[in-house]
Amino acid sequence: MDYDDDPTDRRGAAPGDPLPPNDWAGFNHADRAEALYVAHQARVAGIFRRNVPPHEVGDLVQETFRRLFSAKGVSATFLEAPAAYLASTARTILKNRKRSGMRSQLQAHHSFEDHDVAGPDPHATLEHRDMLRRAEEAIARLNPVTRDVFLMHRFEDLSYSEIGRIKGMSNKAVEKHIVKALVAVRKARDPQS
């Protein structure tokens, strides 16, 4: 059911009517509750419409008023500022929904990097080990200066200028050594290329 109720189908106060005066004489509890609902439901619905899908607005408005009417120590129909109380309650409901939504998303998360229950694929593990072994051998075969420059850049995270200062060479020379090492590693990783 969609939230928008037919305003002509109301008994008691109409949507534009102000709340009855402070002397609620002649009004029973249900009439007072209905008057509060009619006077403030549009504002509460507006808070929810900006933050939740339309099909959930009606339920959340009802929950907000349920909390108002069931609050302990508060005579809901005699509140001095029911609009403020309702807005605060609506914001609290939204915060709680968001918090629980985050928890459920985290619980439902499945990383593509996680291995299935049966464990990792033994063939893929062997292929990765073999590829790493070939890359290590290719780095070991590099001339010592190229190997040092490559390892300083990749594993010590030094910039070209820092390596150049340490090795006494220009940035362009550092770049050439790194490119040479990368080509050797790429060839070792994929022997068909």
Q: How far apart are CA 161 and CA 167, in angstroms?
A: 10
Domain spans, the chain: 7-104, 125-189
Mean pLDDT of 136-155: 91
Which of 5-19, 27-41, 146-160, 167-181 shows the lowest per-residue confidence on average (mean pLDDT)?
5-19
pLDDT band at 72 (very low <50, low <70, confident <90, very high): low
* Three-class DSSP category at 126: helix
For residue 19, the model assigns a pLDDT of 53
Mean pLDDT of 58-65: 89
Tokens of 151: 């390892």
CATH code of the region 7-104: 1.10.1740
pLDDT band at 37 (very low <50, low <70, confident <90, very high): confident
Q: What is the residue-averaged pLDDT of the chain?
A: 77
Query: What is the chain's length?
Result: 193
Q: Does domain 125-189 match CATH 1.10.10.10?
A: yes
* H runs (alpha helix) in 50-156: 54-70, 82-108, 122-141, 144-154
- Cα dihedral sign, 151-157-160-163: negative
